[in-house]
Each structure stands twice: as structure tokens, then as C-alpha cells.
């Protein structure tokens, strides 16, 4: 496991931060931070805690990032199991599903009434739309 690779991937793909920004937050040079991401510098626990703080995640998230990402991918993209089917609602409580469906319907109805009200206000104020 190369911790610098995990740090770089989280920074680039999840947090969309520049190296210089992270380095500034850690009070180190951009070069020193680059050495961490490139696995040139051994990282201390204190420095890793600082990086986790900047990324707003846990130390374990950084340490296990590649493995967790791989397991997640395999879970949803395996060839012998679900074949990419979203299984989040399979085997769930049908009452939960109905409750969610009812909430969705209520939200849609509420939005329709809101649109009708806004259209009436626009017409009353002679606004063409």
C-alpha cells in the first residue's frame, strides 16, 4: 500500500483540491507536499492527521481508500452476482418503500401547487412567460 497514492487520488478525484492549497493548510511547501504524494517522504502520523483534517475525512479512510474503492467496485460490478443491478432496495421492507414513494408523491404534488401559484402571481402582475 502506498499512502501517497491514496492521498493524491482523494485530493484529485474527490476533493478537487490543488497541491498548493493542501500544502498551505499544512504549513509546508508545495514541494514537501508533492514528496508525500509521490511516496518520497515518509509520512508521520501527525502529518497524516493534518491531511485528514484538510480532506475532512478519517485517517482510516485515507489508509483504506484503494481497498475500499476496489471492494465497492467489485460489489456492484461482479460477473457472477448482481451483474451491475442496483440491489439497494432488494429484500427491503415494502412498507419503507411505500413510505418513500408516498413522500415522493407528496413532494411532487407540493411542487405542482407551487408552480401554479407562481404562474398565477406572474399573470396578476402582467409578466409574460
Confidence of residue 41 (pLDDT cuts 50, 70, 90): very high
pLDDT per residue as tens digits for the range 75-87: 555 555 555 555 5
What's residue 127's pLDDT? Answer: 82
What's residue 77's pLDDT? Answer: 55
Identify the CATH assignment for 3-76 out of 3.90.1150.10, 1.10.540.10, 1.10.260.40, 3.40.640.10.
Answer: 1.10.260.40
**Stretch 86-97: mean pLDDT, rounded?**
60
What's residue 4's pLDDT? Answer: 94
pTM: 0.55
Q: How do the domains of the chain map onto residue ranges?
A: 3-76, 89-129
pLDDT score of 129 more than 80: no
Burial 65-96 (b: 16+ CB within 10 A, else e): beeeeeeeeeeeeeeeeeeeeeeeeeeeeeee
Amino acid at each position: 500500500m502506498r499512502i501517497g497514492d491514496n492521498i493524491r487520488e482523494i485530493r484529485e478525484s474527490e476533493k478537487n483540491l490543488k497541491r498548493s492549497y493542501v500544502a498551505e493548510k499544512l504549513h509546508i511547501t508545495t514541494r514537501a507536499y508533492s514528496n508525500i504524494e509521490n511516496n518520497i517522504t515518509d509520512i508521520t502520523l501527525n502529518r497524516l492527521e493534518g491531511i485528514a483534517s484538510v480532506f475532512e475525512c478519517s485517517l482510516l479512510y485515507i489508509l483504506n481508500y484503494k481497498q475500499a474503492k476496489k471492494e465497492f467496485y467489485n460489489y456492484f460490478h461482479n460477473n457472477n452476482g448482481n451483474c451491475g443491478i442496483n440491489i439497494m432496495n432488494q429484500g427491503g421492507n415494502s412498507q419503507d418503500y411505500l413510505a418513500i414513494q408516498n413522500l415522493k408523491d407528496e413532494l411532487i404534488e407540493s411542487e405542482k401547487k407551487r408552480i401554479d401559484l407562481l404562474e398565477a402571481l406572474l399573470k396578476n402582475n402582467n409578466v409574460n412567460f
